[in-house]
């Protein structure tokens, strides 16, 4: 890699830019994870994480990526042969489904066009049809990072409740936690899956499960053979501030700092900041004359915007041009969207001028790569940012 001056713009929807405060917090000697100093820190982290997840219950922390936390959620409450209901919202929903099938779950995968979120009416119809309660869980991705679509969780909960069906509600908040409003307890979620490198502004390496009381009870009786991912062992050790095996100590230093940063700003302020940057981004995209992949304005993602390329133009060629000329990484089109969309990540440690740098880089890139568009997208975003706060 040639040496570059200035900071690289990492505008993919995760991993996100790690703030200096967090980098400095991690740049310390690793301590004894069985000593008293550690237990004190762990106690603070668990308290803070509960606020981030919106739960009074347990949050489990794994040294893993988000995929590990997906697996933990499955093996603690489900058994091979169990039926589960999932929705094709995009690439990540598809990957979680593939994992579920590898564990022998029978997945009813409701097809989708990758442009909208989970339809609560379809949840209700599927559960109402399931008179014998074969379906053990409804598993949804809150923010589909591959498409920039956010499913609304409360209507899904209400749909489940209307049928009186006992299925667990399991939600992937891997890219929404700490950037889009989310409330594990209030929204009646049983298991929430999260990880470190998106809204929490940390490097990759931590996975989370928030565990509701009903899910904890199911796990006590059931689930699959498990050891590393077992909630019960974790939660017991965590009560005293410890872990059953060596935790990712330096990432936990960073996590404590990230929680401080989010709670200092206040979660409502963090969510509003993301919503405003998302709106500015969409105004830029419309001014360029390009289309936003998400077809349902109520489901626009506040953390990433997937932009459709004009027919005959390759999104990855544009991304390569922008990386080469302006040292900015944009998200690639995943799965069936490869080459067709690029994604602008606007989440984590982010402010107005970072957004303007990103949008200027996209607009210049569209010109350099000769992608048909109108000028003025960055201007439209500037106008919006200057007139709101």
Cβ of residue 221: shortest distance to ligand PLP, in angstroms? 28
Token match 């992949």: residue?
293
Residue from 14, 223, 247, 331 binding ligand PLP (CB under 6 A): 14
Residue from 84, 141, 308, 315 binding ligand PLP (CB under 6 A): 141
Q: Which is nearer to ligand PLP, 10 or 356 (CB)?
A: 10
Cβ of residue 204: shortest distance to ligand PLP, in angstroms? 6
Token match 């206040």: residue?
266
Q: Which is nearer to ligand PLP, 172 or 279 (CB)?
A: 172
Query: Which helix (H) or strand (E) is 208 found in, with range?
Result: strand 207-211
Q: Which is nearer to ligand PLP, 301 or 360 (CB)?
A: 301
How far is it, in rounded angstroms, from Cα 283 to Cα 388?
13
Of 40-48, 60-68, 114-122, 239-247, which segment contacts ligand PLP by CB under 6 A?
60-68
Q: Which is nearer to ligand PLP, 66 or 212 (CB)?
A: 66
Cβ of residue 290: shortest distance to ligand PLP, in angstroms? 23
175 is an interface residue for ligand PLP by CB under 6 A: yes
How far is it, in rounded angstroms, from Cα 252 to Cα 259?
10
Residue 119 sits at φ, ψ, to 5 deg, of: -90, 115
For residue 298 the two structure tokens come to 């109520």
Give the footprint of ligand PLP on residues 236-275 (CB under 6 A): none
Give the footprint of ligand PLP on residues 181-220 (CB under 6 A): 195, 204
Token match 């409804």: residue?
138
Q: CA nearest 123: which of 134, 143, 137?
A: 137
145 is an interface residue for ligand PLP by CB under 6 A: yes
Q: What DSSP line would sit under 75-120, residue for residue?
A: HHH--TT-EEEEE--SHHHHHHHHHHHHTT-EEEEE---SSS---H
For residue 330 the two structure tokens come to 């944009």
How far is it, in rounded angstroms, from Cα 246 to Cα 175?
26
299 is an interface residue for ligand PLP by CB under 6 A: no
174 is an interface residue for ligand PLP by CB under 6 A: yes
* Signed CA dihedral, 92, 200, 103, 100: sign only: negative
172 is an interface residue for ligand PLP by CB under 6 A: yes
117 is an interface residue for ligand PLP by CB under 6 A: no
Instruction: Specify whether the CB–CB gap between 341 and 309 falls below 8 A.
Output: yes
How far is it, in rounded angstroms, from Cα 100 to Cα 115?
23
Residue from 65, 163, 250, 332 binding ligand PLP (CB under 6 A): 65
Specify whether the backbone of 14 is left (phi greater than 0), alpha (psi in -120 to 50) or beta.
left
Contact string 73-112 vs ligand PLP (x = CB under 6 A): -------------------x--------------------
Q: Closest-CB residue for ligand PLP?
A: 66
For residue 3 the two structure tokens come to 């040496």
For residue 107 the two structure tokens come to 């997945």
Q: Which is nearer to ligand PLP, 175 or 360 (CB)?
A: 175
Give the footprint of ligand PLP on residues 329-358 (CB under 6 A): none
Cβ of residue 83: shortest distance to ligand PLP, in angstroms? 22
Classify strands 207-211 and 191-195 as parallel, antiparallel or unpaired. antiparallel
Of 25-33, 62-70, 259-267, 269-277, which segment contacts ligand PLP by CB under 6 A?
62-70
Sites of contact with ligand PLP (CB under 6 A): 14, 65-67, 92, 141, 145, 172, 174-175, 195, 204
């Amino acid at each position: 890699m040639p040496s570059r001056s200035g900071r690289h713009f990492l505008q993919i929807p995760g991993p996100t830019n790690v703030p200096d405060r967090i980098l400095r917090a991690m740049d310390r000697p690793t301590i004894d994870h069985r000593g008293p100093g550690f237990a004190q820190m762990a106690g603070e982290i668990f308290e803070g994480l509960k606020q981030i997840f919106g739960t009074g219950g347990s949050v489990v922390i794994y040294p893993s990526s988000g995929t590990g936390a997906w697996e933990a959620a499955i093996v603690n409450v489900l058994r091979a042969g169990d039926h589960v209901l999932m929705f094709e919202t995009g690439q990540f929903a598809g990957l979680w489904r593939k994992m579920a099938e590898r564990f022998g779950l029978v997945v009813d995968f409701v097809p989708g066009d990758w442009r909208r979120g989970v339809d609560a009416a379809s949840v209700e119809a599927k559960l109402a049809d399931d008179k014998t309660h074969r379906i053990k869980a409804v598993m949804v991705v809150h923010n589909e990072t591959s498409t920039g679509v956010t499913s609304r969780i409360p209507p899904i909960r209400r749909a489940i409740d209307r049928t009186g069906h006992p299925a667990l509600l399991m939600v992937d908040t891997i890219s929404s936690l700490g950037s889009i409003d989310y409330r594990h307890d209030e929204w009646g979620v049983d298991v929430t899956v999260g990880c470190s490198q998106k809204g929490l502004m940390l490097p990759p390496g931590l996975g989370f499960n928030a565990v509701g009381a009903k899910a904890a009870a199911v796990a006590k009786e059931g689930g699959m053979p498990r050891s590393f991912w077992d909630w019960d062992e974790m939660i017991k050790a965590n009560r005293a501030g410890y872990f059953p095996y060596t935790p990712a100590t330096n990432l936990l230093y960073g996590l404590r700092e990230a929680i401080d940063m989010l709670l200092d700003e206040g979660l409502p302020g963090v969510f509003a900041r993301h919503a405003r940057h998302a709106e500015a981004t969409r105004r830029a995209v419309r001014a360029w004359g390009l289309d936003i992949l998400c077809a349902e304005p109520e489901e626009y993602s506040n953390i990433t915007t997937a932009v459709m390329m004009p027919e005959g133009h390759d999104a990855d060629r544009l991304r390569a041009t922008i990386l080469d000329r302006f040292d900015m990484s944009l998200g690639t089109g995943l799965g069936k969207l490869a080459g067709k969309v690029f994604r602008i990540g606007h989440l984590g440690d982010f402010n107005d001028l970072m957004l303007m740098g990103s949008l200027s880089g996209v607009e210049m890139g569209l010109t350099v790569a000769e992608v048909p568009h109108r000028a003025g997208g960055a201007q439209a975003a500037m106008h919006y940012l200057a007139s709101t706060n």
